[in-house]
Amino acid sequence: MRVDFKILALSILAPAVTWACEGPCIVNVTNGFISKYQTPIKSVLRMADQLLTAQFPENLNCTSHLQHAYSKVVYNSLELAIFPSYFHGKCQQPTGTNGSMIDPPGCPNPDCPVVCGTPGSMVHFYPDLRHINFQTHVDIFNNITERDSEGFKAVETCLWNTASSQENRSSRSSARSPSRLFAARFPPTATDLSKSFARSPENKCETQGRAQLQDQLYNFFQTNLAKLWSDECDEEHDFRHCSWEKDMKALILSFP
């Protein structure tokens, strides 16, 4: 019976000794990358706002609404992209004639040449980890600037309301609504729509003007955001401006 208790004790204790990035490791590594990305995000949004102002002079930092939309989804998106989707499972590989499973040299830590769920694997495949983080951020910004997304609607509403406020202050005598204001700025459809505006009631004019704004804003995001991210992180040189390799490897290896 004494032997049986020892075996039982070992079986209970064994699972507590883990060699994988779990729990606090997952949370801290994910938050570590989110923290590092705050600087490039601010830069991308600042550059996007400058470009937006060139196209929409009434813009008053409307792209700042994307920061809020990003903050609501980034943790879950990034954790899912890094861990269950890429770094997961055991590092052990079959070896010998009997196919017994062993950890290859360097596994689980500090530099494991097998894609698995350990800190050592993330260190070895850090270029992949770096790319996962970059692509996830690009994908997030693509998602939050889709037409039906909260982020897109917030930016569009900001532009519309700001234009309305400015137009009411500066052009009361001209009786030009924001819909007419936007229509005048949007080739190639402005000429055709101006004929419609001339004979349309104000509500139809507003609907058409706002639809134009949405089209222009959507095209703006589709044209510019991916390039802004690529330039900011220097995609052509292995994302060297969004790497933080030394700091992040140290953080990763601080977990068993």
Q: What is the mean pLDDT of each run of 10 residues along the chain (256 residues)?
A: 40 46 96 98 97 91 96 98 93 79 89 95 97 98 97 96 70 51 50 41 61 95 97 96 98 94
Q: CA–CA separation, 138 vs 19, rounded Å? A: 31
C-alpha 222, offset from chain centre: 15
Query: Can you give the pTM of this predicted structure?
Result: 0.78
Q: Under a CB-based contact definition with an 8 Å cutoff, are residues 189 and 219 in contact?
A: no
Q: What integer pLDDT is reported at residue 54 of this predicted model?
A: 93
Q: Residue 224: which of 33, 57, 53 has the closest Cα? A: 53
Two tokens, residue 179 = 């819909």
Contact by Cβ (8 Å): 182, 209: yes
The full set of domain ranges for the chain reads: 18-91+101-252
CA-to-CA dists, residue 86 to 16, 27, 61, 114, 174, angstroms: 24, 16, 36, 11, 59
- Close Cβ partners of 59 (under 8 Å, ≥ 6 residues apart): 49, 52, 53, 158, 159, 162
Whether 235 and 243 have beta carbons less than 8 Å apart is answered as: no
Say if CB 206 and CB 177 are below 8 A apart. Answer: yes
> Structure tokens of 222?
């589709």
- What's the confidence (pLDDT) of residue 58? 82
How far is the C-alpha of 22 from the C-alpha of 118, rounded, in Å? 8
